Amino acid sequence: MFENIKGILEEYKKLWAYSYSEALMTWDTETYMPEADASVRGDVFAVFNELEKEVYMRLAGKLEGIEEEKLTDEERGVIRVLRRNIKYYTKIPIEIIKEFTKITNESVVVWRNAKSKSDFKMFSSYLEKIVNLSRQIADYLGYEKEPYDALLDLYEEGFNTADGDKVFERLLPELGDILKKVEEDGYFPKTHELESVPYEAERMKKVNEHVVKMLGMPTDKFRLDISAHPFTIRISGKDVRITTRYEGKDFKATMFSVIHESGHAMYELMVDERLEGTPIASGASTGIHESQSRFWENVIGRSREFVDLIYPTLKDNLPFLSKYDKDEVYRYFNTVKPSLIRVDADEVTYNFHIAVRYEIEKRLINERLKVDEVPSLWNELMSKYLGVTPKDDAEGVLQDIHWSQGSIGYFPTYTLGNIVAGMLYAKITDLYSLVSEAKFDKLRETLRELICKYGATYPPKVLLRRAFGTDYDPEGLIKYLRDKYLAKGKEYA
């Protein structure tokens, strides 16, 4: 394997080692690093950026004259991904990359403090710098129509504003109709008393440990920790880590964050091990990655069949559940209401939250919005889409870590993930039979064969066409939500 590009991959090994080290430092930054080291850590990352650019420059020369028609699919994937990365490092001046890296490492800590004090002004100057640098990056990368397209493409190769507008124009009216009918019906409650019942963190840790064991997470390649914002990081194909948080009430939040992040981890752990040490030994895109986490969290984790499986463990560890039967737990898992916090949003309303962020990012990068106008537009769009208005910045514009990390263009991939999860729902006809029998190994194998094993061999749209015969098609998601919330029987037999 890779016989035609051995020399290229030998040089790439240096980048692989840098990436391994950066991933480990990133995990540490979010979990155990003392805050005072944030600026130093930023300097370290900046040095890594310089070293990486040097390697990419050498690789650029090695790629000249490659005859792609003689390459395998995997080799073409390596060349494609390398060329995308080389484009980033050759078109963007190293001074911009270093400044962006340094400011975003500092910004994460500033955002964390601003959120704790619910004060957007503490963070706004950093966001201003990040937006300005992001515009410069978009200009250097180039685009056909709008600057935002260049940033979208960084996270979802081949995806642009026209695609995003098409997706949201199809999806939002359907979601609005489903939400209205769910509210009229009343079976799925807007709130549930279990949301306010306190739990002991140690007991929930036991539940979460059972969940990852039930899902089949390999103990020798995987670990679960705690952080302010749940995330997954791939150190290598044999070291994938996730985090959750324990807020002391509403136990489903931590459990579903574990299932969600386990979905991300499973993707990385199911990439063909032969790809390790190459540029394609990871997920195809952030949207495809999100499809795996949302599929496990929502389509599986919030199903009746999964409630049946997890209910005994929940009762054993959470004594207060003795008053609630499986139907009540199912309804608690599937409350539907317009709410303020994205990570706590239900399946029906979640994509409205993404639409808010998509619209703000689009206007910011295309210079139709100033940073100091972001909080007011945020509140305006929340009111328009969901009929709710944040009372402060912490539950509004400061709730997400992404902009402090410089991840502008990332948010739309959450909706793309939901869409692909819906496509999986439509394709796997025996899905809930497998869940009811806890045959998660068979589900993992199905996902491995459809999507995971290829890593980044194919660009996302090509991968989806190979698996489904089409690319981002919202119809599966719409069908899933209508089947679950409107069409199917709502009570346990």
Instruction: Tell how strand 222-226 and strand 232-236 pair up.
Output: unpaired
What is the residue whose two structure tokens read 């995806």? 159
- Is pLDDT above 60 for 22? yes
Beta bridge partners of 232: 242
Lay out the sheet containing 232-236: strands in order across. 222-226, 239-244, 232-236
- Tell me the C-alpha distance between 475 and 163, whole Å: 15
Share of the chain above pLDDT 70, in %: 99
- Is pLDDT above 90 for 76? yes
Q: Which two tokens stand for residue 317?
A: 């560890």
- Is pLDDT above 60 for 489? no
Question: What's at 436, amino acid-wise?
Answer: S
Tell me what pLDDT residue 117 has: 97
- Is pLDDT above 70 for 422? yes
Question: Please, is 492 exposed, middle or buried when counting C-beta atoms within 10 Å of its C-beta (0-12, 13-18, 19+)?
Answer: exposed
Tell me what pLDDT residue 50 has: 87
Phi and psi of 118, rounded to 5°?
A: 50, 50
pLDDT band at 67 (very low <50, low <70, confident <90, very high): confident
Residue of 479, 182, 211, 488 lying closest to 335 (CA atoms): 182
Work out the average pLDDT over 72-90. 94
Could you report the per-residue pLDDT of 190-231, keeping only the tens digit for each? 999 999 999 999 999 999 999 999 999 999 999 999 998 899
- Tell me the C-alpha distance between 287 and 167, whole Å: 13
Residue numbering of the annotated binding site for Zn(2+): 260, 264, 290
Share of the chain above pLDDT 90, in %: 91
Domains and CATH numbers, the chain: 3-147 (no CATH), 161-487 (1.10.1370.30)
Does residue 261 carry a catalytic annotation? Answer: yes
Contacts of 79 by beta carbon, 8 Å cutoff, 6+ apart: 5, 8, 63, 66, 68, 71
Selected catalytic residue, list 261, 268, 297, 347: 261
Could you report the per-residue pLDDT of 295-336, keeping only the tens digit for each? 999 999 999 999 999 999 999 999 999 999 999 999 999 999
Answer whether 163's CB lies under 8 Å from 287's CB.
Answer: no
Question: What's at 368, amino acid-wise?
Answer: R
Residue 31 parent element (H or E): helix 6-31
Tell me what pLDDT residue 493 has: 40
Residue of 211, 234, 214, 204 lying closest to 222 (CA atoms): 234
Q: Which two tokens stand for residue 444?
A: 């993992």
Residue numbering of the annotated binding site: 260, 264, 290
Contacts of 199 by beta carbon, 8 Å cutoff, 6+ apart: 248, 249, 251, 318, 320
- Tell me the C-alpha distance between 97 and 93, whole Å: 7
Work out the average pLDDT over 416-441. 97
Residue 251 parent element (H or E): none
- Is pLDDT above 90 for 245? yes
**How many C-beta atoms lie closer than 10 Å to residue 444's C-beta?**
17
- Tell me the C-alpha distance between 194 and 379, whole Å: 28
3 state DSSP class of 215: helix
- Is pLDDT above 90 for 338? yes
Average pLDDT, the chain: 95
Tell me what pLDDT residue 488 has: 59
Q: How far is CA 276 from CA 16, 50, 192, 195, in A?
A: 9, 24, 45, 42
3 state DSSP class of 395: coil
Work out the average pLDDT over 417-430. 97
3 state DSSP class of 142: coil
Cβ-count burial 156-195 (b if 16+ within 10 Å, e if not): bbebbbebbeebbeebbebbeebbeebeeeeebbeebebe
Q: Name the DSSP class of 483.
A: I
Contacts of 188 by beta carbon, 8 Å cutoff, 6+ apart: 182, 331, 334, 335, 336, 485, 490
Tell me what pLDDT residue 492 has: 46
**How many C-beta atoms lie closer than 10 Å to residue 39's C-beta?**
12
